[in-house]
Structure 1
Amino acid sequence: MKNTVIYKQDSRFTIKADFYTANHENAPVIVYIHGGGLLWGTREDISEEMIKLYTNNGFALFSIDYRLAPESKLPDILEDVQDALLWIETEGPKQFSIDPKRIAVVGGSAGGYLALCTGIYKKKPRAIVSFYGYGDISSNWATQPSKFYLQKDLVPKELYKKFVSDEMITEGAIETRFLLYLYARQQGAWVQEITGIPSTNKEDLIQVCPIYHITKDYPPTLFLHGTKDTDVPYEQSVFMRAALIKRNVKTRLITIPNGEHVFEKDFDNPVVQDALNQVIEFLQIHLSA
């Protein structure tokens, strides 16, 4: 059963989340953060198969929207994620039968990056699962033009400007907003568009890269990444896991051989099914009462 709530609003924007109930009372909660390069996507992007995977295994699911770039910048987006966690902890139990002390954050791609950022918050989740996320947006893969996206038709700057809104955006359709991402990755301008920080300013960019801010109390983290990911390099998960190991943080990396970006869309693939079963086991261990 789905319930849509407003977890944050002011005169400029309203941000929603979809809450899916679990099959028992006082359930642990998965906060799901969608991907989309921080430029597009909505809380409804999570597939029906993934919703059932979590709820059928005893987890309540809270799929959130957040403000999108370039109309909003990364500090505001990170604030929205923090506010979503605060809402589910303080307001969630008043409306739903959940245990606010057992929260994990799961995200894919840009959502994986935002999930990893929650590990450096003062108020941390119990566990994190990153599907092909990234811990470093200061390195060349993010700040330089993408060789993969340069193989596609070049997006003219005029078209890019056409799809940038004068207002804050909290839900963005891929049909139009993907062109913003494509243009930014082709131009090597993506990081500056989402942060407002010039890509040459490594010192400031490092401040928004979780890989550089890991402490020994970072939550247990599970990474999943395909070796043929053309959007986010597989090495991003390898490097992030290595940084956690240095701090003695519990962590694992599930490698999907020849897996592409959003590999779980091939839901019935036995390799994918095995990986998703391991996700459930990881969450059950770290969200146990």
Structure 2
Amino acid sequence: MKTVCYKAVGDVHLLGDFYSTGQANSPVVVYIHGGGFIFGSRGEIPRDQIEGYNTAGFHVFSMDYRLAPETRLTAIAEDILDAIHWLQSDASAELGIEPSSIGVVGHSAGGYLALLAGAREPKLRAVVSFYGYGDIRAAWATGASSHYLQKPIVPRKLADQLIAGEVLTEASVQQRFGLYLYCRQQGTWVQEVTGLDPEWDQSELQALCPVEAVTAQYPPTLLLHGEQDNDVPYTQSVQMAERLEQVGVAHTLITLPGEDHLFDLQKDKESVRHVFAQELDFLRDHLL
């Protein structure tokens, strides 16, 4: 594994961990972690997934990005594109990659960022979204979550204490889940991570919705979602699939009946192993 800096913003260095196949000019899978834009880091990619991608012939670039609410979602999206553009233009000799064969794989908020990258960088060869979402204007995102309201209520004072006075690029779930939980319980999540008001800034929010940005040039896409997801509704992937179908983009929606958010961490389940095999087949079809 090699850690590299793909971008600097003032004194903040944005890092990525590069896991090589050992073969020059291999395609690259850019891995985008989840965490509601509020927590997470490049180190969260499971070891078995790295090995699966490498064995299948793909380098892996697991990246950090600036976290919300200290950094707004528009800037976070720029980080994702800047990492892709760095791989396309500057990293070929240093890392031994094939710059014309890059795919993005994201989980949850990372799935959303992968879908948004697909809309903004048509040269991507593939997009994979694990329980991502295409519409952050919808009630599931802008309203209070009935699922999270069943958990102990996070007081405002505690949530405020979890907001840093500086730019963050890494934060553990233990450190910052309370802030995410507070936002979902209060129905302020979208407002906190975007700095936009869902009622008054609808055009600006629309520009941040992948489902509104799909064109015929959108990259081939794989959507994976548990049917009983209590965090991100399964309908979010259904809507993306319908939009991709409308404009004739190659895509596949894989539904996991009975599964919730983070289903992919159940690596000993036969159904989950089968899903990863299907994902690798999809990536082989479009990157190799």
Could you say which TM-score interval applies, normalised by the shorter chain? over 0.9
Separation in 2, partners of 1:111, 1:206? 18
In 1, Cα distance between the equivalents of 2:266 and 2:121?
Answer: 36
Deviation of the 1:124 alpha carbon: 3.4
Which residue number in structure 1 is paired with residue 160 of structure 2?
A: 161
Contact 1:118 1:124 in 2 (8 A): no
Aligned Cα root-mean-square deviation (Å): 1.0
Q: What is the rounded CA distance, in whole Å, between the counterparts of 1:229 and 1:122 in structure 2?
A: 28
Number of matched pairs: 287
Write the deviation string for residues 230-279 of structure 1: whole angstroms up to 9, x where unpaired: 10001100010000000000011111111111111111211111111010
Q: Where does 1:36-51 land on structure 2 (aligned, <5 Å)?
A: 36-51=35-50
Q: Which amino acid aligns with 1:168?
A: V
Give the equivalent residue in structure 1 for 2:180: 181
2:123 and 2:260 map into 1 onto residues whose CA distance is 30
Q: In 1, distance between residues paired with 2:122 and 2:85?
A: 9
Counterpart amino acid of 1:64?
Answer: M
Residue-by-residue CA offset, 1:101-123 (whole Å, 9 max, x unaligned): 00000000000000000111145
CA distance in 1 between counterparts of 2:9 and 2:115 reads: 27
Whichever residue aligns with residue 232 of structure 1, its letter is V
Please give the alpha-carbon distance, in whole angstroms, between the structure 1 residues aligned to 2:225 and 2:17. 26
Any gaps of 5 or more consecutive residues in structure 2? none
Aligned to 2:274: 274
Measure how far apart 1:23 and its partner are. Answer: 4.0
* TM-score, normalisation: structure 1: 0.97
Corresponding residue for residue 81 of structure 2: 82
- The answer for the alignment partner of 1:225 in structure 2 is 225
Could you tell which deviates more after superposition, 11-20 or 243-252? 11-20
Deviations 1:16-56 (CA, angstroms, capped at 9, x unpaired): 00000014221000000000000000001110111111011
Cα distance, 1:90 vs structure 2: 1.6
In the alignment, is the contact (CA less than 8 A) between 2:112 and 2:134 conserved in 1?
yes
Correspondence for 1:171? 170
Letter in 2 for 1:267: K
Q: Is the 8 A contact 1:12 1:168 kept in 2?
A: no
- Report the AA paired with residue 62 of structure 1: F
Task: Judge which range, 204-213 or 243-252, deviates more.
Answer: 204-213
| 22-31 or 279-288, larger mean C-alpha shift | 22-31
CA contact (8 A) 2:25 2:97 kept: yes
Distance in 2 between the 1:181 and 1:122 partners? Answer: 29
Equivalent residue, structure 1, for 2:72? 73
Mapped to 1, the partners of 2:28 and 2:121 lie a distance apart of 19
Equivalents in 2 of 1:211, 1:235: separation in Å?
12
Where does 1:114-153 land on structure 2 (aligned, <5 Å)? 114-153=113-152
TM-score (norm 2): 0.98
Q: Deviations over 1:183-232 (max 9, x none)?
A: 00000000001100012133321110010111100000000000111100
Q: Which residue of 2 aligns with 1:58?
A: 57
Q: Which whole-Å deviations, capped at 9, do the CAs of 1:50-106 have from their partners, x for residues lacking one?
A: 111101111000000000000000111011001100111122112112100000000
Preserved contact between residue 122 and residue 219 of structure 2 (Cα < 8 Å)? no
Structure 1: stretches of 5+ with no match in the other structure = none
Aligned-pair distance for 1:132? Answer: 0.2
User: Does structure 1 retain, via aligned residues, the 8 Å contact 2:104–2:126?
Assistant: yes
CA distance in 1, matches of 2:250, 2:121: 18
**Structure 1, residues 121-151: CA drift from partner, whole Å, max 9, x if none?**
1453111000000000000000000000000
Displacement, 1:11? 2.3
The whole-number CA distance in structure 2 between the counterparts of 1:131 and 1:92 is: 26
User: 1:253: which partner in 2?
Assistant: 253
Sequence identity of aligned pairs in percent?
Answer: 46
Q: Secondary structure at the match of 1:120?
A: helix
- Tell me which amino acid in the other structure corresponds to 1:125: L
